[in-house]
Protein backbone atom coordinates (compact mmCIF):
# COMPACT_ATOMS: atom_id res chain seq x y z
CA UNK A 1 0.00 0.00 0.00
CA UNK A 2 1.10 3.55 -0.69
CA UNK A 3 0.67 6.61 1.53
CA UNK A 4 -0.24 9.91 -0.09
CA UNK A 5 -1.10 13.26 1.52
CA UNK A 6 -4.27 14.71 0.07
CA UNK A 7 -6.33 17.59 1.48
CA UNK A 8 -4.25 17.35 4.67
CA UNK A 9 -5.36 13.77 5.14
CA UNK A 10 -3.56 10.59 4.20
CA UNK A 11 -5.01 8.50 1.41
CA UNK A 12 -4.15 4.79 1.39
CA UNK A 13 -4.71 2.99 -1.89
CA UNK A 14 -5.60 -0.61 -2.57
CA UNK A 15 -6.31 -1.84 -6.11
CA UNK A 16 -10.05 -1.15 -5.88
CA UNK A 17 -10.45 1.35 -3.03
CA UNK A 18 -9.08 4.63 -1.73
CA UNK A 19 -9.22 5.31 2.01
CA UNK A 20 -8.97 8.80 3.50
CA UNK A 21 -7.42 8.84 6.96
CA UNK A 22 -7.43 11.66 9.49
CA UNK A 23 -3.79 11.75 10.62
CA UNK A 24 -4.57 13.44 13.94
CA UNK A 25 -7.11 10.78 14.92
CA UNK A 26 -5.42 7.84 13.21
CA UNK A 27 -8.75 6.71 11.76
CA UNK A 28 -10.17 6.10 8.30
CA UNK A 29 -12.87 8.72 7.80
CA UNK A 30 -13.92 8.05 4.19
CA UNK A 31 -13.74 5.25 1.65
CA UNK A 32 -13.97 5.58 -2.14
CA UNK A 33 -14.70 2.58 -4.33
CA UNK A 34 -12.77 2.78 -7.62
CA UNK A 35 -14.11 -0.59 -8.77
CA UNK A 36 -12.32 -1.74 -11.96
CA UNK A 37 -10.18 1.39 -12.35
CA UNK A 38 -7.39 0.26 -9.96
CA UNK A 39 -5.78 3.62 -9.05
CA UNK A 40 -1.97 3.74 -9.02
CA UNK A 41 -1.49 7.48 -8.44
CA UNK A 42 -3.54 10.35 -7.00
CA UNK A 43 -3.14 14.03 -7.87
CA UNK A 44 -5.03 17.25 -7.04
CA UNK A 45 -7.08 19.08 -9.69
CA UNK A 46 -4.34 21.69 -9.88
CA UNK A 47 -0.95 22.15 -8.25
CA UNK A 48 -2.30 24.07 -5.25
CA UNK A 49 -5.77 22.55 -4.92
CA UNK A 50 -4.87 21.03 -1.54
CA UNK A 51 -4.66 24.56 -0.14
CA UNK A 52 -8.10 25.52 -1.48
CA UNK A 53 -10.92 24.59 0.88
CA UNK A 54 -13.54 24.89 -1.88
CA UNK A 55 -11.82 22.30 -4.10
CA UNK A 56 -13.17 18.86 -3.18
CA UNK A 57 -12.56 16.72 -6.27
CA UNK A 58 -9.26 15.04 -7.18
CA UNK A 59 -7.84 12.90 -10.00
CA UNK A 60 -6.74 9.29 -10.00
CA UNK A 61 -4.51 7.55 -12.53
CA UNK A 62 -4.26 3.92 -13.55
CA UNK A 63 -2.11 2.27 -16.20
CA UNK A 64 -4.67 2.96 -18.94
CA UNK A 65 -6.17 6.35 -18.16
CA UNK A 66 -7.27 9.11 -15.82
CA UNK A 67 -10.50 9.64 -13.89
CA UNK A 68 -11.93 12.26 -11.53
CA UNK A 69 -13.40 11.46 -8.11
CA UNK A 70 -15.91 13.59 -6.22
CA UNK A 71 -16.08 12.47 -2.55
CA UNK A 72 -19.31 14.43 -1.99
CA UNK A 73 -21.32 12.09 -4.20
CA UNK A 74 -22.79 8.82 -2.92
CA UNK A 75 -20.57 5.74 -2.79
CA UNK A 76 -21.80 4.42 -6.16
CA UNK A 77 -21.28 7.64 -8.07
CA UNK A 78 -18.00 9.08 -6.86
CA UNK A 79 -16.21 8.47 -10.17
CA UNK A 80 -17.21 11.22 -12.61
CA UNK A 81 -17.95 9.32 -15.82
CA UNK A 82 -17.86 12.44 -18.00
CA UNK A 83 -14.29 13.08 -16.85
CA UNK A 84 -12.96 9.55 -17.27
CA UNK A 85 -10.93 8.09 -20.10
CA UNK A 86 -9.35 4.68 -20.49
CA UNK A 87 -7.17 3.58 -23.41
CA UNK A 88 -7.95 0.13 -24.78
CA UNK A 89 -4.91 0.07 -27.08
CA UNK A 90 -2.09 -1.67 -25.18
CA UNK A 91 0.38 0.75 -26.80
CA UNK A 92 -1.13 3.55 -24.70
CA UNK A 93 -1.94 1.48 -21.60
CA UNK A 94 1.39 2.00 -19.86
CA UNK A 95 0.85 5.09 -17.68
CA UNK A 96 2.74 5.28 -14.38
CA UNK A 97 2.48 8.75 -12.80
CA UNK A 98 1.02 12.23 -13.24
CA UNK A 99 1.31 15.82 -12.01
CA UNK A 100 -0.80 18.98 -12.54
CA UNK A 101 0.15 22.60 -13.20
CA UNK A 102 -1.48 25.57 -11.48
CA UNK A 103 -3.94 25.86 -14.40
CA UNK A 104 -4.90 22.17 -14.22
CA UNK A 105 -2.88 20.93 -17.20
CA UNK A 106 -1.59 17.39 -16.55
CA UNK A 107 1.70 15.74 -17.50
CA UNK A 108 1.82 11.91 -17.46
CA UNK A 109 4.80 9.53 -17.48
CA UNK A 110 4.85 5.98 -18.88
CA UNK A 111 6.68 2.68 -18.51
CA UNK A 112 8.39 3.22 -21.87
CA UNK A 113 9.76 6.64 -20.92
CA UNK A 114 7.21 8.68 -22.87
CA UNK A 115 5.97 11.93 -21.37
CA UNK A 116 2.47 13.07 -22.36
CA UNK A 117 1.11 16.63 -22.09
CA UNK A 118 -2.65 17.09 -21.65
CA UNK A 119 -4.35 20.50 -21.57
CA UNK A 120 -6.83 21.20 -18.79
CA UNK A 121 -9.50 21.91 -21.39
CA UNK A 122 -9.10 18.51 -23.07
CA UNK A 123 -9.53 16.73 -19.71
CA UNK A 124 -12.54 18.77 -18.58
CA UNK A 125 -14.53 19.64 -21.69
CA UNK A 126 -15.82 16.68 -23.65
CA UNK A 127 -17.13 17.64 -27.14
CA UNK A 128 -20.94 17.60 -27.32
CA UNK A 129 -20.96 15.07 -30.16
CA UNK A 130 -18.37 12.78 -28.49
CA UNK A 131 -19.37 9.18 -27.86
CA UNK A 132 -18.84 7.32 -24.58
CA UNK A 133 -15.43 6.09 -25.74
CA UNK A 134 -14.04 9.59 -26.32
CA UNK A 135 -10.35 9.85 -25.39
CA UNK A 136 -8.62 13.24 -25.12
CA UNK A 137 -5.52 13.49 -27.27
CA UNK A 138 -2.23 14.47 -25.72
CA UNK A 139 -1.16 17.90 -26.95
CA UNK A 140 2.40 16.52 -27.13
CA UNK A 141 4.19 13.24 -26.46
CA UNK A 142 7.94 13.19 -25.90
CA UNK A 143 9.97 9.95 -26.09
CA UNK A 144 12.02 10.62 -22.95
CA UNK A 145 15.27 8.65 -22.75
CA UNK A 146 13.77 5.16 -22.92
CA UNK A 147 13.55 4.20 -19.25
CA UNK A 148 10.40 3.96 -17.14
CA UNK A 149 9.21 7.21 -15.57
CA UNK A 150 8.56 6.33 -11.92
CA UNK A 151 7.51 9.83 -10.84
CA UNK A 152 6.89 13.21 -12.42
CA UNK A 153 6.61 16.81 -11.28
CA UNK A 154 6.01 20.12 -13.06
CA UNK A 155 6.58 23.78 -12.27
CA UNK A 156 3.65 25.98 -11.32
CA UNK A 157 3.56 27.64 -14.76
CA UNK A 158 4.05 24.39 -16.71
CA UNK A 159 7.30 25.58 -18.31
CA UNK A 160 9.49 22.79 -16.86
CA UNK A 161 8.90 19.09 -16.21
CA UNK A 162 10.93 16.94 -13.80
CA UNK A 163 10.85 13.18 -14.42
CA UNK A 164 12.38 10.54 -12.13
CA UNK A 165 13.88 7.35 -13.55
CA UNK A 166 15.60 4.65 -11.52
CA UNK A 167 19.13 6.08 -11.66
CA UNK A 168 18.78 9.55 -13.22
CA UNK A 169 16.45 12.54 -13.45
CA UNK A 170 15.24 14.36 -16.55
CA UNK A 171 14.50 18.09 -16.64
CA UNK A 172 12.55 19.16 -19.74
CA UNK A 173 11.77 22.70 -20.94
CA UNK A 174 8.27 22.96 -22.42
CA UNK A 175 8.18 26.49 -23.85
CA UNK A 176 8.15 26.91 -27.63
CA UNK A 177 7.16 30.12 -29.41
CA UNK A 178 6.02 31.63 -26.09
CA UNK A 179 3.58 28.79 -25.33
CA UNK A 180 4.05 25.61 -23.32
CA UNK A 181 3.68 22.02 -24.48
CA UNK A 182 0.27 21.95 -22.79
CA UNK A 183 -1.09 24.74 -24.98
CA UNK A 184 0.20 23.95 -28.48
CA UNK A 185 2.12 21.23 -30.38
CA UNK A 186 5.91 21.31 -30.36
CA UNK A 187 6.06 20.42 -34.04
CA UNK A 188 9.57 19.73 -35.24
CA UNK A 189 11.19 21.75 -32.45
CA UNK A 190 11.14 19.13 -29.72
CA UNK A 191 12.79 20.38 -26.50
CA UNK A 192 16.15 18.90 -25.50
CA UNK A 193 16.11 17.34 -22.00
CA UNK A 194 18.69 17.87 -19.24
CA UNK A 195 19.91 14.63 -17.64
CA UNK A 196 20.86 14.70 -13.95
CA UNK A 197 22.86 11.83 -12.45
CA UNK A 198 25.49 11.11 -9.80
CA UNK A 199 29.12 10.92 -10.83
CA UNK A 200 30.98 7.59 -10.61
CA UNK A 201 32.68 8.47 -7.34
CA UNK A 202 29.37 9.21 -5.63
CA UNK A 203 27.72 6.11 -7.07
CA UNK A 204 30.35 4.10 -5.22
CA UNK A 205 29.75 6.19 -2.07
CA UNK A 206 26.02 5.37 -2.00
CA UNK A 207 26.65 1.64 -2.41
CA UNK A 208 27.03 1.12 -6.14
CA UNK A 209 23.33 1.14 -7.05
CA UNK A 210 20.97 4.09 -7.52
CA UNK A 211 17.25 3.91 -6.73
CA UNK A 212 15.98 7.46 -6.79
CA UNK A 213 12.84 8.32 -4.85
CA UNK A 214 10.36 10.70 -6.57
CA UNK A 215 12.15 13.98 -7.29
CA UNK A 216 10.38 17.24 -6.44
CA UNK A 217 10.63 20.94 -7.24
CA UNK A 218 10.42 23.41 -4.39
CA UNK A 219 8.06 26.39 -4.53
CA UNK A 220 9.73 29.49 -3.11
CA UNK A 221 8.24 32.62 -1.56
CA UNK A 222 8.76 34.56 -4.79
CA UNK A 223 6.53 32.12 -6.68
CA UNK A 224 9.30 30.34 -8.58
CA UNK A 225 11.09 27.01 -8.33
CA UNK A 226 14.79 27.10 -7.44
CA UNK A 227 15.71 23.64 -6.08
CA UNK A 228 15.24 19.93 -6.82
CA UNK A 229 15.43 17.16 -4.24
CA UNK A 230 15.44 13.36 -4.33
CA UNK A 231 17.16 10.54 -2.44
CA UNK A 232 18.73 7.12 -2.86
CA UNK A 233 19.44 4.75 -0.01
CA UNK A 234 20.56 6.75 3.04
CA UNK A 235 21.41 9.88 1.05
CA UNK A 236 19.35 13.02 0.46
CA UNK A 237 20.41 14.73 -2.80
CA UNK A 238 19.56 18.21 -4.06
CA UNK A 239 20.32 20.33 -7.12
CA UNK A 240 20.10 24.06 -7.65
CA UNK A 241 17.45 24.18 -10.39
CA UNK A 242 18.50 27.60 -11.67
CA UNK A 243 22.05 26.30 -12.05
CA UNK A 244 20.85 23.14 -13.79
CA UNK A 245 19.20 25.04 -16.63
CA UNK A 246 22.26 27.23 -17.15
CA UNK A 247 25.19 24.86 -16.60
CA UNK A 248 26.04 21.53 -18.18
CA UNK A 249 26.96 19.05 -15.45
CA UNK A 250 25.49 21.13 -12.61
CA UNK A 251 26.77 20.16 -9.16
CA UNK A 252 24.64 18.73 -6.35
CA UNK A 253 24.78 18.26 -2.60
CA UNK A 254 24.53 14.98 -0.67
CA UNK A 255 23.41 14.63 2.95
CA UNK A 256 23.78 11.25 4.73
CA UNK A 257 21.26 9.75 7.17
CA UNK A 258 21.49 6.75 9.48
CA UNK A 259 18.58 5.00 7.76
CA UNK A 260 17.14 4.79 4.25
CA UNK A 261 15.27 7.90 3.08
CA UNK A 262 11.79 6.78 2.09
CA UNK A 263 10.69 10.10 0.59
CA UNK A 264 11.62 13.77 0.51
CA UNK A 265 9.73 16.92 -0.40
CA UNK A 266 10.12 20.65 0.14
CA UNK A 267 8.14 22.58 2.72
CA UNK A 268 5.54 24.88 1.10
CA UNK A 269 6.89 28.34 0.21
CA UNK A 270 10.45 27.34 1.03
CA UNK A 271 13.75 27.93 -0.73
CA UNK A 272 15.64 25.22 1.11
CA UNK A 273 13.74 23.36 3.86
CA UNK A 274 13.06 19.70 3.03
CA UNK A 275 10.85 17.22 4.88
CA UNK A 276 12.80 13.93 4.98
CA UNK A 277 10.78 10.78 5.69
CA UNK A 278 12.66 7.84 7.25
CA UNK A 279 11.16 4.41 8.05
CA UNK A 280 10.46 5.40 11.68
CA UNK A 281 11.00 9.14 11.78
CA UNK A 282 10.50 12.44 9.98
CA UNK A 283 13.23 15.09 9.92
CA UNK A 284 13.60 18.60 8.56
CA UNK A 285 16.67 19.16 6.40
CA UNK A 286 18.06 22.28 4.75
CA UNK A 287 19.84 22.47 1.42
CA UNK A 288 23.27 24.07 1.30
CA UNK A 289 25.08 26.02 -1.37
CA UNK A 290 26.61 23.82 -4.07
Q: Are 183 and 118 in contact (CB under 8 A)?
A: no
Tell me the three state secondary structure of residue 35: helix
| Rounded CA separation 256/196 (Å) | 19
Tell me the three state secondary structure of residue 253: strand
Other C-beta atoms within 10 Å of 9: how many? 17
Q: For 36, list phi and psi in degrees, rounded to 5.
A: -85, -5
Model pLDDT, residue 98 = 95
Tell me the three state secondary structure of residue 193: coil
Tell me the three state secondary structure of residue 177: coil
**Residue (of 288, 267, 78, 103) closest to 183 by Cα position:** 103
Which ranges of 45-166 does DSSP label H, i.e. alpha helix? 120-124
Which ranges of 101-197 does DSSP label H, i.e. alpha helix? 120-124
Residue-wise pLDDT for 81-95, tens only, equals: 777 787 777 666 799
| Rounded CA separation 79/113 (Å) | 28
Model pLDDT, residue 16 = 65
Contacts of 189 (CB under 8 A, 6+ apart): 176
Q: What is the pLDDT along the chain (290 residues), one digit of tens a residue?
A: 333 433 333 444 455 677 777 767 777 777 777 666 778 888 888 888 777 666 678 888 888 888 888 877 765 457 777 777 877 776 667 999 999 999 999 999 999 999 999 999 888 766 555 555 567 789 999 988 889 999 999 999 999 999 999 999 999 999 987 899 999 999 888 898 999 999 999 999 999 999 999 999 988 767 789 899 999 999 999 999 989 988 777 889 999 998 988 888 777 766 777 878 888 777 777 665 44
**Residue (of 210, 255, 252, 215) closest to 232 by Cα position:** 210
Model pLDDT, residue 287 = 63
Tell me the three state secondary structure of residue 18: strand
Q: Are 144 and 107 in contact (CB under 8 A)?
A: no
Model pLDDT, residue 75 = 57
Model pLDDT, residue 96 = 95
**Residue (of 176, 261, 178, 182) closest to 216 by Cα position:** 261
Cα dist. 192→96, 116, 173, 175, 226 in Å? 22, 15, 7, 11, 20
Q: Are 29 and 22 in contact (CB under 8 A)?
A: yes
Amino acid sequence: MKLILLYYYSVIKTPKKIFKMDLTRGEVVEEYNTDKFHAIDLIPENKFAQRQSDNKTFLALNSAGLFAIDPRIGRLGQILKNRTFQYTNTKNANLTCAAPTEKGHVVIGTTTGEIKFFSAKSLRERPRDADVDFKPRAMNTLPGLGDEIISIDVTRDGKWVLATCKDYLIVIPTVSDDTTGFDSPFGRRKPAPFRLALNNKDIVKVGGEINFTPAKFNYAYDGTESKICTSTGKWLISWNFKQVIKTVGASYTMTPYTDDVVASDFMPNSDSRIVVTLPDDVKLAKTHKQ
